[in-house]
Structure 1
Amino acid sequence: MLTVGDKLPAFDLQAVVSTDPRSAFARITDTTNPGKWKVLFFWPKDFTFVCPTEIAAFGALNGEFADRDAVIYGISTDSEYVHLAWRQNHKDLAKLPFPMLSDIKRELSTALGVLHREEGVCLRATLIADPEGIIRFVSVNDLSVGRNPQEVLRVLDALQTDELCPCNWQKGESVLTAA
């Protein structure tokens, strides 16, 4: 598994960006949104139970991530057509403000090392890459446990200070100084 300090691998994936079939699809690459922080989060399967709760929670925080010069990419191994059908049929995903990327060939998830060995689907992995494409944060949950997007936002805030941030540090609080 790639980790903190590694370079985000190159990728070129089809994505769903709306529910309108005429404009639903776009290509997203590692060079899309240059100069931005990138938050990549992976989920196991579309049309499941825990996944939409996480996706909707990231969607609700999209504006806060954008305010921090970050883009969100949601990714699974489902096809773009399955993503589109899910968005069209799940009220919490209909107006999702970030792209749902299709890693159907499992190239990105394999390169990152976030595939579940037995199931062949993505683990609940979350990565933050800085504007230079260097991975600065990695978190992985078991298939059955949802993650906390608010914590991902807190970590992004801490990373962007480029300072020493204590446990439970929140944006606006004092950072530590080395003696």
Structure 2
Amino acid sequence: MLTIGDKFPEFKLQACVSIEKGKEFAEVANKDAKGSWAVYFFWPLDFTFVCPTEIAEFNKEFKNFQARETKLFGVSADSHFVHLAWRNNHDDLRDLKFPMLADYKKELAAQLGVLHKQDHMPLRATFIVDPDGIIRWVSVNDLSVGRNVKEVVRTLDALQTDELCPCNWEKGQATLTV
């Protein structure tokens, strides 16, 4: 698995970006995050149970990512067509503010090393990537356990200070001095 200090892999994927007729799809690549912080979060499959709770929570927190000048990308191994169908059929997913990347060939998940060994689907992996394309934080959950989006935001805050942050540090608190 790629980890902290590794370069996030190059990619170019189709994505579902809207449910508006004629504007549903776009190609998304690394260049779309160049020079910005980015969060990439993977989920196993569309039309499942835990996944929409996470995706909806990332959407609720979208303004917090935007305020931190951070691009947000959701990724699964479903096609962009399946993403669109899911968005059209799930109330919590209709108004997503970030692209749903279609890693249909599972190449990005494989390069990152986040494919489940038996089921060969993406694990619930989250990567925070800095403006230089370097992975600064990784969290991976078992397929049955949803992640904590507020912890992703808290960790992003800590990383963006570029200072020493103690345990349970939150934005606005003092950092450590040496």
Report the equivalent of 1:98: 98
Following TM superposition, where does structure 1 have runs of at least 4 consecutive aligned residues deviating by more than 3 angstroms? none
The CA deviation at 1:152 is 0.1
- Runs of 5+ consecutive residues of structure 1 not aligned to the other structure: none
1:49 is aligned to 49
Deviations 1:89-122 (A, max 9, x none): 0000000000000000111000000000110110
Higher mean C-alpha deviation, range 120-129 or range 30-39: 30-39
* Counterpart position of 2:78: 78
Q: What is the number of residues matched between the two proteins?
A: 178
Determine the C-alpha separation between the residues in 1 that align with 2:140 and 2:95.
Answer: 26
TM-score scaled to structure 2, two decimals? 0.99
Q: In structure 2, the residue corresponding to 1:56 is in which secondary structure?
A: helix
Distance 1:105 1:21, change over 3 A: farther
Match of 1:173 in 2: 173
What's the counterpart of residue 129 of structure 2? 129
Alpha-carbon distance in 2 for matches of 1:171, 1:130: 18
Secondary structure at 1:46 match in 2: coil
State the partner residue of 1:17: 17
Identity %: 60
In 2: Cα distance, 1:47 partner to 1:172 partner: 38
The one-letter code matched in structure 2 to 1:161 is: T
Structure-2 residue corresponding to 1:39: 39
- 1:23: how far off? 0.5
Q: Is the 8 A contact 2:34 2:133 kept in 1?
A: no
The TM-score normalised by the length of structure 1 is: 0.98
Q: Which residue of 2 aligns with 1:88?
A: 88
Report SS of the residue matched to 1:31: helix
Report deviation, 1:79.
0.5
In structure 2, runs of 5+ residues without a counterpart are: none
Counterpart amino acid of 1:83? H
Q: Distance in 2 between matches of 1:38 and 1:112?
A: 15
- RMSD of equivalent CA atoms: 0.6
Paired amino acid for 2:104: I
Question: Residues of 2 paired with 1:173 and 1:35: CA distance?
Answer: 27
Residue type of the partner of 2:33? N
- The Cα of 1:33 is off from its aligned counterpart by 3.1
- Residues 114, 125 of structure 2: 8 Å contact kept: yes
Q: What is residue 149 of structure 1 aligned with on the other side?
A: 149
Q: Distance in 2 between matches of 1:21 and 1:99?
A: 16
5 Å-filtered alignment, 1:51-70, equals 51-70=51-70
Deviating more after overlay: 12-21 vs 88-97? 12-21
Quick one: distance in 1 between partners of 2:8 and 2:34?
A: 13
Q: What's the CA shift for 1:31?
A: 1.0
Aligned position for 2:113:
113
